[in-house]
């Protein structure tokens, strides 16, 4: 399970894992080419200490090779020595700047000073190294002779030569390090974003965390190939139409032992595609030969009249207030046999009270007698109480979630609200699934419902008696 999760994260953030290392490597390469190359000259200077007379002072510190080499390592970078080098070579830099180019490492075992000089000019680096050794030897000899002390013997073990290649920047190494660092950073950020992401990612999570069964997966589709852009089920040969047929089959078989009449379609929050799903599910039901009524019970933001090209002057609110008859409010959808639409009607000032009234319950009971299925498009559960009121009275409720958008806290709260009214939540529909998503797989005839059921519908077979034919045509 964990391996599958890791692979899903890597697949979802593949662009980041590929782009970040490449950008880091390219940046490192550009910087490495723009930075002036540094050349290094190395010289080894052996130190042969003169015999030191024993001191008569018992508190005087003893001189060792290590202390002598440490003294010389500091002395060689003193301004007095560096000023002499600058004067000899006619350099236009300060002793401090020159000291930054010089590195002296004492070797106490071999009593050798390892001297290195780095500069952007290879010839100048060689000249500085040569002059430094010469001037340092002269300075040491002069000081020791002045103190009537036997001078130490400083022997150059190697001569300074002009380097033929720079020591830095190491372009290949810089690019490799940048690529590796970018890769590690990208993978770390990918898993961090996945950890912080509260959106729903897989069917297993839905079942394990909330006990919700996915009964359908609807692919993301802008819906431009059909007469009415969002009514994807009208295009009988499209992948989206197959998805809604599979959803229809999943609903029918999930309630095979129940007298399913009214289905509430809702979502946790706004913009998750509940209205479009309700409309297409109603079309799919009607296409299977069931007398289907689609009711727009979303008084807050009605949209079914827009999807079907109708007007909402007269609708559900008018029927509840008895301002119109059913014949006036309910219209048949011309393009889809067996499908009728009841728009929202006039927007009432008190939607929740209207939907929870006894007149609404009476109206619903009357409509159930004339239609095989009544599908209600309701507002989001977390926004208002309208959906909970209708879900308590309906036979089934379906939650619509949007892949990569619906969050766990929102869905958990919606499920809790529906459980409080004892709504029969038969499952969820994952909406707007992208083809590149690794969380959900979908293809022709594979939408989370039994493949045999989908095959039966495609072959024109009907589900068992009592599922597909609940009521005779009124």
Q: Where are the domains of the chain?
A: 2-35+170-195, 39-156, 200-458
CATH number given to 200-458: 3.40.50.300
Structure tokens at 181: 């660092």
- Rounded CA-CA distance 223/221 in Å is 5
pLDDT of residue 191: 86
Strands of 112-119's sheet in order across: 102-107, 112-119, 39-48, 153-156
* pLDDT of 260 higher than 80: no
* pLDDT of 451 higher than 90: no
Looking at per-residue pLDDT, the higher value among 256 and 464 belongs to: 256
Give the single-character DSSP code of 403.
T
Mean pLDDT of 199-209: 81
Mean pLDDT of 245-258: 79
Give the single-character DSSP code of 233.
G
Picking from 384, 221, 232, the residue whose alpha carbon sits closest to that of residue 297 is 384
CA 49 to chain centre: 67
* pLDDT of 452 higher than 80: no
> What's the whole-number average pLDDT of the chain?
83
pLDDT of residue 407: 87
∠ CA 433-436-442 to the nearest 5 degrees? 50
Looking at per-residue pLDDT, the higher value among 149 and 205 belongs to: 205
pLDDT of residue 257: 63
Mean pLDDT of 257-283: 89
Looking at per-residue pLDDT, the higher value among 328 and 454 belongs to: 328
pLDDT of residue 373: 93
* pLDDT of 440 higher than 60: no
Residues of the chain with pLDDT > 90, as a percent, come to: 50
With a CB cutoff of 8 Å and minimum separation 6, the contacts of 42 are 114, 115, 116, 129, 158
CA 155 to chain centre: 64
Q: How confident is the model at residue 460 (pLDDT cuts 50, 70, 90)?
A: very low
* pLDDT of 184 higher than 50: yes
* pLDDT of 472 higher than 50: no
Looking at per-residue pLDDT, the higher value among 302 and 234 belongs to: 302
Q: Which of 65-74, 277-286, 363-372 has the highest mean pLDDT?
A: 277-286
> What SS3 state is found at 294?
strand
pLDDT of residue 204: 81
Q: Which of 115-129, 218-232, 277-291, 331-345 has the lowest mean pLDDT?
A: 218-232
Residues in the chain: 474
Residue in this structure with the two tokens 């830095």, named with its chain if needed = 168
Q: Give the tens place of pLDDT for each residue, 357-396.
A: 999 999 988 888 889 999 999 999 999 999 999 999 998 9
* 310 class by beta-carbon count within 10 Å (0-12 exposed, 13-18 middle, 19+ buried): middle
Q: How confident is the model at residue 449 (pLDDT cuts 50, 70, 90)?
A: very low
pLDDT of residue 448: 39
Mean pLDDT of 258-277: 88
pLDDT of residue 235: 79
pLDDT of residue 385: 92
* pLDDT of 469 higher than 80: no
Residues of the chain with pLDDT > 70, as a percent, come to: 84
Mean pLDDT of 253-257: 67
pLDDT of residue 43: 94
Q: How confident is the model at residue 470 (pLDDT cuts 50, 70, 90)?
A: very low
pLDDT of residue 436: 56
- Rounded CA-CA distance 171/199 in Å is 42
Mean pLDDT of 456-471: 34
Q: How confident is the model at residue 259 (pLDDT cuts 50, 70, 90)?
A: low
CATH number given to 39-156: 3.30.70.1130
Picking from 189, 147, 173, 162, the residue whose alpha carbon sits closest to that of residue 13 is 189
* pLDDT of 437 higher than 70: no
How far lies 191's CA from each of 184, 187, 409, in Å? Answer: 11, 6, 20
Mean pLDDT of 82-94: 93
Q: How confident is the model at residue 151 (pLDDT cuts 50, 70, 90)?
A: low
Q: How confident is the model at residue 465 (pLDDT cuts 50, 70, 90)?
A: very low
Q: Give the tens place of pLDDT for each residue, 106-125.
A: 998 888 999 999 999 999 99
Q: Give the tens place of pLDDT for each residue, 8-39.
A: 778 878 889 999 999 999 999 999 899 999 99
Give the single-character DSSP code of 35.
S
Structure tokens at 109: 């075992």
């Amino acid at each position: 399970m964990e391996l599958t999760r890791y692979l899903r994260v890597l697949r979802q953030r593949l662009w980041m894992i590929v782009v970040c290392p490449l950008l880091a490597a390219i940046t490192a390469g550009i910087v490495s080419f723009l930075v002036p190359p540094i050349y290094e000259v190395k010289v080894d200077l052996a130190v042969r200490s003169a015999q030191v007379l024993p001191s008569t002072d018992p508190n005087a510190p003893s001189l060792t090779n290590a202390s002598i080499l440490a003294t010389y390592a500091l002395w060689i970078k003193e301004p007095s020595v560096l000023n002499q080098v600058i004067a000899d070579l006619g350099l236009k830099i300060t002793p401090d700047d020159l000291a930054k180019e010089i590195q002296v490492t004492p070797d106490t075992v071999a009593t050798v000073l390892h001297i290195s000089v780095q500069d952007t000019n290879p010839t100048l680096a060689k000249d500085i190294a040569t002059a430094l050794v010469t001037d340092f030897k002269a300075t040491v000899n002069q000081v020791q002779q002045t103190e009537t002390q036997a001078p130490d013997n400083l022997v150059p073990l190697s001569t300074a030569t002009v380097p033929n290649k720079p020591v830095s920047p190491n372009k290949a190494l810089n690019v490799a390090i940048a690529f590796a660092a970018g890769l590690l950073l990208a993978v770390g950020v990918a898993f961090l974003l996945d950890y912080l992401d509260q959106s729903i990612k897989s069917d297993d999570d839905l079942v394990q965390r909330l006990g919700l069964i996915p009964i359908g997966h609807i692919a993301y589709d802008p819906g431009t190939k059909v007469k009415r852009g969002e009514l994807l089920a009208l295009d009988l040969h499209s992948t989206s139409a197959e998805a809604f047929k599979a959803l229809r089959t999943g609903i029918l078989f999930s309630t095979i032992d129940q007298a399913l009449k009214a289905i509430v379609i809702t979502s946790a929050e706004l913009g998750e595609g509940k209205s479009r799903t309700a409309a297409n599910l109603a079309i799919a039901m009607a296409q299977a030969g069931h007398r289907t009524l689609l009711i727009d019970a979303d008084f807050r933001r009605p949209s079914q009249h827009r999807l079907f090209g109708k007007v909402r002057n007269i609708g559900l609110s008018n029927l509840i207030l008895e301002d119109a008859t059913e014949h006036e409010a309910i219209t048949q959808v011309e393009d889809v046999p067996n499908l009728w639409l009841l728009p929202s009607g006039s927007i009432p000032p008190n939607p929740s009270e209207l939907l929870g009234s006894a007149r609404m319950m009476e109206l619903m009971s009357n409509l159930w007698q004339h239609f095989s299925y009544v599908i209600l498009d309701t507002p989001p559960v977390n926004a208002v109480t309208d959906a909970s009121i209708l879900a308590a009275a309906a036979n089934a409720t379906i939650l619509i979630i949007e892949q990569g958008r619906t969050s766990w806290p929102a869905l958990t709260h919606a499920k809790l609200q529906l459980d409080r009214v004892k709504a029969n939540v038969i499952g969820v529909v994952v909406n707007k699934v992208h083809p590149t998503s690794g969380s959900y797989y979908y293809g022709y005839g594979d939408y989370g419902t039994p493949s045999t059921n989908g095959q039966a519908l495609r072959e024109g077979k009907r589900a068992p008696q009592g599922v597909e034919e609940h009521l005779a045509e009124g």
